[in-house]
Amino acid sequence: MSKRILLTGAQGQLGSELRRRVSMMPIPYELLPTDQADLDISDMSQVESAITAFKPDVIINAAAYTAVDKAETEPDVAFAVNAKGPENLAKVAADADIHLIHISTDYVFNGQHCTPWKVNDPVEPINVYGESKLAGEQAIQRYHPDALIIRTAWVYSRYGNNFVKTMIELMNARSELGVISDQIGTPTHAGRLAEICLSAVDHPSCKGLYHWTDAGVASWYDFAQAVYEIGSSLGLINNYCQLNAITTADYPTPAQRPSFSVMDCQQSRRDFGFARHWREQLNMMLQELQGGSGSE
Ligand SMILES: NC(=O)c1ccc[n+]([C@@H]2O[C@H](COP(=O)([O-])OP(=O)(O)OC[C@H]3O[C@@H](n4cnc5c(N)ncnc54)[C@H](OP(=O)(O)O)[C@@H]3O)[C@@H](O)[C@H]2O)c1
């Protein structure tokens, strides 16, 4: 019998990639895609009704409040979605013996490291978004210890708004652009992350904390340079734009960001599948954009 998956945040980057992959799978999953308009995860009564009505085998929580800078002035909203939401899902899923797959972030770490963060390294978020996501992880661990939590980082996709699409727009409009070179992490394509979530659906014995990013390491400047090079070769960027490496201090933002958030993903590679280098994934995503399928 096909597995029934309740997906939250279905219109987001990860949610959209999940919907697309499920529609292409040879194994038929029965997917109920929901977004805030039909299932607000911060509302316990909506969570209870949706789960009772659909009776999923698995819930994938791709819903989140992801506006990192805005969260500094909207902590209540960030906590309602990123902490209360996962708590609601965890309570109802645990009671009904439903597997829960939840996505968290590298921003639970303070960035004061120079080797990849391991899953059990101490957490110490340095912004409200990170605090709210950590509270979500803790609620899940408390109410549904068998749930799977996958921390990821620097997510982009052909869907939604993200760094890659913003860079292409700016590079087409400007002759010069400063990009931060002293924050180091790993760009991660939401499409491959979606495949990892589906692999996890089929491995319900994998639980607890995992890290998943694409392979490799980059600064935002490296990432932007790759967008420029590949984007230009594909005709997505038709303008000379000089990229200048700048520091975090040169570009103050409301939220602080970790300076080093590369994560150790060894366990997830073993349990869920291989990773491509972030530049290869970026190339694939830009080719999709060039093919004209990036307007959603
Ligand atoms: N983006 C990144 O760089 C990044 C990095 C590390 C970790 N992550 C994590 O990865 C996961 C997926 O991120 P993403 O980039 O796909 O996020 P996204 O594109 O911002 O999508 C999040 C989705 O959640 C929905 N949502 C917001 N509040 C909701 C609520 N109360 N109830 C139900 N749905 C709600 C949003 O709807 P609206 O658009 O209507 O608000 C949106 O469709 C999240 O857990 C995020 O924290 C992301």
Q: List the domain boundaries for the chain.
A: 4-162+187-215+264-276
Closest atom of ligand 1 to CA, residue 10? 43
pLDDT at 26 over 90: no
Instruction: Let me know if 65 is a catalytic residue.
Output: no
Q: How far is the CA of 9 from the centre of ligand 1 (A)?
A: 6
Comparing 21-25, 64-68, 147-151, 280-284, the range with the smallest average pLDDT is 21-25
CA dihedral sign, ordered 92, 82, 150, 26: positive
- The DSSP call for residue 68 is T
105 lines ligand 1 (CB under 6 A): yes
Q: How many CB atoms lie within 10 A of CB 293?
A: 12
Rounded to whole angstroms, the Cα distance separating 263 from 265 reads: 6
Rounded to whole angstroms, the Cα distance separating 55 from 78 reads: 28
Q: Note whether 14 and 193 are within 8 A (CB).
A: yes
Q: How far is the CA of 63 from the centre of ligand 1 (A)?
A: 4
What pLDDT score was predicted for residue 96?
97
pLDDT at 74 over 50: yes
Burial of 215 (0-12, 13-18, 19+ CB in 10 A): middle
Taking residues 40-64, report their average pLDDT: 98
Task: Note the pLDDT tens digit of each residue in 154-205.
Answer: 999 999 999 999 999 999 999 999 999 999 999 999 999 999 999 999 999 9
Task: Note the pLDDT tens digit of each residue in 130-150.
Answer: 999 999 999 999 999 999 999
Render the burial of 85-118: b for 16+ CB within 10 Å, e for the rest.
bbbbbbbbbbeeebbbbbbbbbbbbbbebeebbe
Q: Which of 87, 155, 163, 193 maximizes ligand 1 atoms within 8 Å of its Cβ, making it the mutation to test the pocket?
A: 155
Nearest to 118 by CA among 271, 223, 268, 256: 268
Rounded to whole angstroms, the Cα distance separating 16 from 14 reads: 5
User: Given pLDDT bands bounded at 50, 70 and 90, which one contains residue 293?
Assistant: low
What pLDDT score was predicted for residue 296?
45
Taking residues 233-244, report their average pLDDT: 97
Q: How far is CA 138 from CA 3, 158, 218, 290, in A?
A: 27, 31, 29, 41
pLDDT at 295 over 60: no
The chain-wide mean pLDDT, for the chain, equals 96
- Going by alpha carbons, the residue nearest to atom 14 of ligand 1 is 13
Rounded to whole angstroms, the Cα distance separating 186 from 161 reads: 18
User: Given pLDDT bands bounded at 50, 70 and 90, which one contains residue 129?
Assistant: very high
Taking residues 20-41, report their average pLDDT: 91
Q: How far is the CA of 216 from the centre of ligand 1 (A)?
A: 24
62 lines ligand 1 (CB under 6 A): yes
Q: Which of 29, 65, 129, 156 is catalytic?
A: 129
Render the burial of 227-260: b for 16+ CB within 10 Å, e for the rest.
bbebbbeeebbeeebebebbeeeeeeeebbbbbb
**Cβ-proximal residues to 86 (8 Å cutoff; 6+ apart), any chain:** 41, 61, 102, 136, 137, 139, 140
Q: Note whether 234 and 175 are within 8 A (CB).
A: no
46 lines ligand 1 (CB under 6 A): no
Rounded to whole angstroms, the Cα distance separating 196 from 199 reads: 5
What pLDDT score was predicted for residue 269?
97
Task: Give, for 188, the enclosing helix (H) or strand (E).
Answer: strand 188-189
Q: How far is CA 237 from CA 115, 279, 281, in A?
A: 34, 17, 18
Nearest to 157 by CA among 280, 286, 261, 36: 286
Closest atom of ligand 1 to CA, residue 40? 32
68 lines ligand 1 (CB under 6 A): no
Taking residues 100-107, report their average pLDDT: 98
Q: What's the fold here for domain 4-162+187-215+264-276?
A: Rossmann fold (3.40.50)
Give the phi and the psi of residue 248 in degrees, each rounded to 5. -55, -40
